[in-house]
Every structure is written in structure tokens, then in C-alpha cells.
Structure 1
Amino acid sequence: MSSAVQRIGTGRRGPFVVTAVALLVLLFDGNLPTPLYGVYRERFGFSGTELTLIFAVYMAVLVPSLMVFGQLSDQVGRSRVLIGGLSLGAVGLVLLAAAQGTAWLFAGRIAAGIALGATAGTAAAALVEFEPDDDRGKAALATVLAQSGGSAAGPLVAGALAEWAPYPRQLPYAVGLVLTVLTAIAVSRLPREPVSGRWRPQRPSVPPEIRADFARASLSGATVWAVGGLFLSVVPSYTAQLLHNHNLALLGAVPAMMLIAACAVQAVSVRMQLPPRKAQAAGLGSLVVGLAALVGAFPAKSLLLVVAAALFAGAGLGLTYFGSQAEVNQLAPEARRGEVTAAFLTCVYLGVAATAISTGLLSDAYSLPTAIAVVCGVAGATALVAVGWQLKRD
């Protein structure tokens, strides 16, 4: 896209805000099922592996969607791709609300994954272009706040509605559907960028001159979101086993607490003007503390340790992901911003999917607490490697 197109919206906050809201709403929609997985498991009778596969299929389709639509939005414009993603997200919500079996859940999650894949890289690139002051740091903050905020609000709202409101398996998705339709209408009113050429599918790539720094940032981002995926998929069930309590509002609050902590530290890190590399190193250290608390919570039967795990892991996710996203924004050439951002998010979501599937397989073979202990050990070791890599480059 030309530089003129890239600065559409300069001096106007409307397109910037609408784009951030679109990303937030898609993450909100995608995480509505989090506190409901246990309900679905009891109703439809699937195994722990099937539960995590339902979560992981979302990531499995999200990754190729990122690759395809990140490049597509560079050619046909951001708003066109955003509208398509929101429309497909609405279809996914309808399928989940109407679910009569496991196949419905898979179909709904596939639609949601493609929708987020179309939206995530596109929105992140658009936020850089629409940022009124041409501040890539603020664009990175908006991106990570929208992602963390939407991911936090989804399970919190769904858990509260499912526990205390009628139609627990339908009402959360109805709320998401209303928000999605309203957001799609707002996006449709954004200024349309001129089409810069015919889209030609090609293998996504990262420019050679930035690959080393890109790989370091991607490892950091993938590690923290792998733990974020753990909280969004199986930690609610882990908490239910630990406390012998199946209150859906409580189970939704645990991952929400983790992501609220992420939002809070992201805002603070901007005020402190923390450099991206230092933010990543500090965040990864906090993540390791959170993982240790999560593993220790089950033998101690301690809700306090679960809360500590959520807060430290959330702080780690917030700092590290903000730092890695800001660094990728700085590294990406303007003409390939959508493609590079999509490549970064592909690495992030591959980490999430691998963690979810591994946890499901281990939980069926052994037990959920054992599975979480093993996965946390691997994630903690990876985080320490990533810290060393971050410090070495300084």
C-alpha cells in the first residue's frame, strides 16, 4: 500500500478507535466459550483431548488465515478484510448458540478462528496506519489492549451470564452477536482505501534483514500466549477440580483476572516508557513466577496461589506481548506491514495451539494436574531461554 494510503485517517481518531474495537470484539467473541467448556463436556460427553481439540481447532484455522489475510489486506485494503472477518465471526456465534453436539462446536470454532485470523493481523497493521500521531508505540499498545481486553471480557461476561441469567448456552453468544453486528456497521463506514493491485497468493516471509530480531520477539510472544491459552482452555477446569466448585462466574473470572492484569501492566509500561526489549525480559521473569504458583496451587489446594498465578502470568503476558508487538511494529517495513504482523501472530498462535493439544493429550493419559505441571515446566524453561536471548542482544 502506498504511503498516502497508509496514512488514511491522520489527525482523526475515529478510524483508529473503530479498528481497535473491531479487534476487541473478535477476541471477546472468540473467548466466550472459555467458562462453558465444562458444561459442553458434561452435556455432549467428550474427552479431555476432544475439549482441547475444540479449543485448538480455533488456532489451527486461525494460523493459515493470518497468512492469507495479512497479505490480502496489503492489497485490497484493511476495512474490506475487517468486514469479512466480522461477518464470519457472526456466523460462528450463531453456530455455537445453536450447538446440538460436538460437530456444532467444531464448526463454530472454525468459523471464529478464520474470523480472527482475518482480523488480527489486518487490525494490527491498520492501527499503525490510522494512529493520528504516527506513533507506533501507541499503535502497539492499542493492539495488545484490544487483544487482552477482549480476551478478558469474553470469559468474564460469559461466566456471569451462564451462572446467573437464563439460557446459559445461548445468551452469551447473543450478546456477542449484537456487538459484532454493530461493529461491522461502524467498520463499513470507515474510509475505503484504494485497491493497490490484484491479490496474488504467495508464501508469507519476513525480510532477511530483520529475521533474527523478529525470531526473538516471536519466541517471547509465543511463550507468553501459550500460557495465556492454557488459562483460556484448561485452567478453569483445573480450578474447578482444585476447589470442587463449578460456579461458572468464578471459573470465567480466573482467566479474566489474568488478562486484566495484562492490560494494567501494558498501560503502566507505556507511562514508564519501558523499552520493548526490557519489557520482554521483565515480563518473561514474571511469567515464570506465575507458572510456579499455578503448579503449586493443586497440591496446596490454594485459591490464593491460583490468584497469584493469574496475576503474575498476566503481568508477564502484558509486558512481554506489548514489548514484542512494539518491536515487530518497529521492524516491519511499511510495504509489508500486514504480512510481517501476520507472520508474528502466526508464531504466537502456533504456541497457543501446541500447548492446548499437549495439555489435552497428557490429561487423558495421566491427569489434568500432571498435564499442567509438565506443560508449565516446558513453558517456564522456554521463558528462561527467551530471557537469555533478550539479554544477550543487549
Structure 2
Amino acid sequence: MTGTAERIRTSRRGPFLVVAAALFVLLLDGNLPTPLYSVYRERFGFSGTELTLIFAVYMAVLVPSLIVFGQLSDQIGRKRVLLGGLGLGAVGLILLAAAQNTAWLFAGRIAAGIALGATAGTAAAALVELEPEDDRGKAALATVLAQSGGSAAGPLVAGVVAGWAPAPRQLPYGVGLVLTVVTAIAVSRLPREPVGGRWRPQRPSVPPEIRADFARASLSAATVWATGGLFLSVVPSYTAQLLHTHNLALLGTVAAMMLAAACAVQAVSVRAQLSPRRAQPAGLLSLVVGLAALVSAFPAKSLALVVVAAVFAGAGLGLTYFGSQAEINHLAPSGRRGELTAAFLTCVYLGVAATAISTGLLSDAYSLPTAIAVVSAVAGGTALLALGWQLKRR
């Protein structure tokens, strides 16, 4: 029995790592444009609202893709959906690399959004099924590390390559394309899993007995990722105004720093065996501190406060998202894991889209610092509300 168990763990380890890598690469691809938005804005001459709409259209197509493909992967298999997502992700990178005007950016972001929507819930469900020791906590850690790590690596890679290498509007996407193709080849070699049933598009639903826990975890995760979206969409431009700089490597690093802090905290929380119920309130409190530092940075003209904001907000995202994803993994019935994970991620990305769009509209009507202050205040208030709900159940 021990030998059989060891063989099962060994047979799962490779596929587990490949699926985690696929999720990481697609998040990296989706966030490569982050430090380049200011370059596009100067070259193509679009407004702050258009900037956030380019970011938000990614979410606008991602959400319905989650709804459609989360349930689809339960029926036709995770491998097929992952390959389709990686293929479409490659198309998005090619469109962005070839961009001649704003319409190309919208097309590239639409392709990237559908690609991630197809794979995010699918990969999260596959990681639960493939975790070598059937440990849903470790599967949650792999999911959030892949998402946070890929989101951090995207702006960092693009900022460094665009800042110090030739062809700044093409080469970052070339790097992403190579990684995507290599990952797709690895996914294509995964064993084909048994599937069954006919697929019909349907609205994801949450079983009545877990709806309260699902809503609490989803609200917490949506709040912290709304702040993550702020760092990935407009905080680089905010930092550029604050420091009067166009250094793409620096602007990419600011966005990456927040998500790197999230990854570090997630790894530490697993080593410390922090439970999801403790991780989420601690993360929400840290997020509030980070938002306060972000708002204070502009009047103080302080890069140090931006760094403090990134670290505390990143820690908040890491703790809260790890806790909420682990809770969803435990709540999800095995036959509906892809569907329930897709519903959870739909809530998360709706929060990101709402933040990005409202920030763009406010920045055009008033100023970017004012928009950041208003949106941060709303996000902070929502975080405190979620914190109270988390503490109430203890």
C-alpha cells in the first residue's frame, strides 16, 4: 500500500507542476502591458478613461469566460481547456506586439482575458485533483502563488526588458510568447484524464448550504484583488507623476513589489500553518494599512510610502487570498469543483474591473491622486466590512 501511494504521488507531481506553470505563465502574459501603458498613452494619445478601459476590457471578457469554461472543463477535461487558453494567450501577445493603434491594444487584451478566463478556474480545480498528497491547502498555495507570482513577474519582466533592451513595445511579448509555447508543449504531454457527460452552457450556482461561507470568502478575495488591480493598472502612472520619472524598470518594479510581497507571505503562512480563518482577517487589516500609505504617498511626495503601501497591501492580498482560496477548495463538491472555482474567481475579477473603471473615470474628471484616494477609501471601507464579517463567525 505504501509503495502504491508513493507511485501515485510521483505520477501526479509532474502534471501538478506543469499545471501550476501554465497558470503562472498566463498571469505573466496578462500583466506584461502594466509598465507599458504610459508608453502606449504617449504614442497613441488616449485618455485616462481609455487607459482603464483597456485594462477593464480584459476583465469584461474574462468573467463570462470563467462562467463558460469553468463548467466546460468539468465535462471535456482540464487538459483540452488549458491548451485552448494557452493558444489564445499566444494570439493576444502577438496582437499586442504588433499594435499600431489603440484598437490593437483592445483586441490583444480581449484575447488575453478570454485565455485567462478559460484557464484560471480550470487550473485551480486541476491543482486540487493533482496535488500529490491530496492536500487541498497545498493546492490552494500553488494556485495563489502561481497567480500572484505570474502577476508580479509580468510587469517586472516587461519593465526590465522595455527599459534596457531594444524594441521595448515588442520584445517583452516575445519573451512571453516563448514561455507560452514551451508551456503549451508541456501541457500537451500530460496524460488525458477520464471525462464524461455533455456540456451545456449554464450559470454557475453555489449549493445553498455553503452560500454564506462562499460569500464571505469571495468578498474578502474580491477586496484584496481590487487593490491588486489598482497596482497593476494605475499605480505605475501614479508613481510616475509622484517621482516625475519615465523609468519603466522602476514603474514595473513598483507593481511587481506588491505581488512579490503577496507570494512571500503566502509561503510563510503555509510554513506557520496559519489557518484560513486567521489568515483572512490578518490580511484584510494589513490591506487597510497599505491603502492608507498609498493615499499618503502623493502629498508627501514619498517613494518610501509607495514601497510601504506595496508591502502591506501585498501582504494583505497574500494572506487573504490564500485563506479564501483554501476555504473555497474545502467547500467545493468534487463534481462541481471547476464550476464553483469559476464562480469564486468571477467575484474576484468583478472587484478588479470595478476598481479599474472607477479609477479611470475619476482621474479624468478630477486627477489621478484624487481618484486613487477615493477608490482606496472605498476599498478600505469594504475591507473593514469584510474583516468584521470574518471576525463575527469566530
Report the TM-score, using the length of structure 2 for normalisation.
Answer: 0.97
Q: 2:318 & 2:195 partners in 1: Cα distance?
A: 35
User: Is the aligned partner of 1:376 residue 2:376?
Assistant: yes
Deviation at 1:10, TM superposition (A): 6.9
Equivalenced residues, count? 388
Tell me the equivalent position of 1:180: 180
Q: 2:340 & 2:182 partners in 1: Cα distance?
A: 29
Tell me the equivalent position of 2:346: 346
Q: 2:121 & 2:12 partners in 1: Cα distance?
A: 21
Tell me the equivalent position of 1:251: 251
- SS of 1:193's equivalent in the other structure is coil
Tell me the equivalent position of 1:293: 293
- SS of 1:12's equivalent in the other structure is helix
% identical aligned pairs:
87
Q: 2:11 & 2:212 partners in 1: Cα distance?
A: 34
Give 1:113-132 correspondences, 5 Å limit: 113-132=113-132
| Poorly superposed stretches of 4+, deviation over 3 Å | 8-11
Q: 1:239 & 1:202 partners in 2: Cα distance?
A: 42
Q: Which consecutive residues of structure 2, in runs of 5 or more, have no partner in the other structure? A: 1-7
Q: 1:342 & 1:203 partners in 2: Cα distance?
A: 10
1:94 counterpart letter in structure 2: I
User: Is the aligned partner of 1:50 residue 2:50?
Assistant: yes
Give 1:116-195 correspondences, 5 Å limit: 116-195=116-195
2:379 counterpart letter in structure 1: A
User: Is the aligned partner of 1:387 residue 2:387?
Assistant: yes
Q: 2:10 & 2:330 partners in 1: Cα distance?
A: 19
Q: Would the aligned equivalents of 1:55 and 1:233 in 2 still touch at CA under 8 Å?
A: yes
Tell me the equivalent position of 2:238: 238
1:224 counterpart letter in structure 2: V
Moved more, 8-17 or 378-387: 8-17
Q: 1:157 & 1:80 partners in 2: Cα distance?
A: 28
**Can you list the C-alpha shifts for 1:61-103, whole angstroms capped at 9, x where unaligned?**
0000000000000000000000000000000000000000000
Tell me the equivalent position of 2:3: none
Q: Would the aligned equivalents of 2:125 and 2:341 in 1 still touch at CA under 8 Å?
A: yes
Tell me the equivalent position of 1:361: 361
Q: Would the aligned equivalents of 1:10 and 1:131 in 2 still touch at CA under 8 Å?
A: no
2:324 counterpart letter in structure 1: S
Q: Would the aligned equivalents of 1:9 and 1:15 in 2 still touch at CA under 8 Å?
A: no
Q: Would the aligned equivalents of 2:33 and 2:158 in 1 still touch at CA under 8 Å?
A: yes
User: Is the aligned partner of 1:95 residue 2:132?
Assistant: no
Q: Which consecutive residues of structure 1, in runs of 5 or more, have no partner in the other structure? A: 1-7
Deviation at 1:12, TM superposition (A): 2.6
Give 1:183-332 correspondences, 5 Å limit: 183-332=183-332
Deviation at 1:141, TM superposition (A): 0.1
**Can you list the C-alpha shifts for 1:29-88, whole angstroms capped at 9, x where unaligned?**
000000000000000000000000000000000000000000000000000000000000
Deviation at 1:194, TM superposition (A): 2.2
Tell me the equivalent position of 1:74: 74
RMSD of aligned C-alpha atoms?
1.0
1:104 counterpart letter in structure 2: W
Q: 1:211 & 1:313 partners in 2: Cα distance?
A: 27
Report the TM-score, using the length of structure 1 for normalisation.
Answer: 0.97
Q: Would the aligned equivalents of 1:148 and 1:262 in 2 still touch at CA under 8 Å?
A: yes
- SS of 2:12's equivalent in the other structure is coil
Q: Would the aligned equivalents of 2:9 and 2:133 in 1 still touch at CA under 8 Å?
A: no
Q: 1:90 & 1:249 partners in 2: Cα distance?
A: 24
**Can you list the C-alpha shifts for 1:163-187, whole angstroms capped at 9, x where unaligned?**
1000000000000000000000000
Q: Would the aligned equivalents of 1:62 and 1:113 in 2 still touch at CA under 8 Å?
A: yes
Q: 1:170 & 1:308 partners in 2: Cα distance?
A: 32
Q: 1:202 & 1:36 partners in 2: Cα distance?
A: 37
Q: 1:389 & 1:195 partners in 2: Cα distance?
A: 39
2:295 counterpart letter in structure 1: V
Deviation at 1:277, TM superposition (A): 1.4
Q: 2:272 & 2:11 partners in 1: Cα distance?
A: 25
Q: 1:168 & 1:390 partners in 2: Cα distance?
A: 45
Tell me the equivalent position of 1:3: none
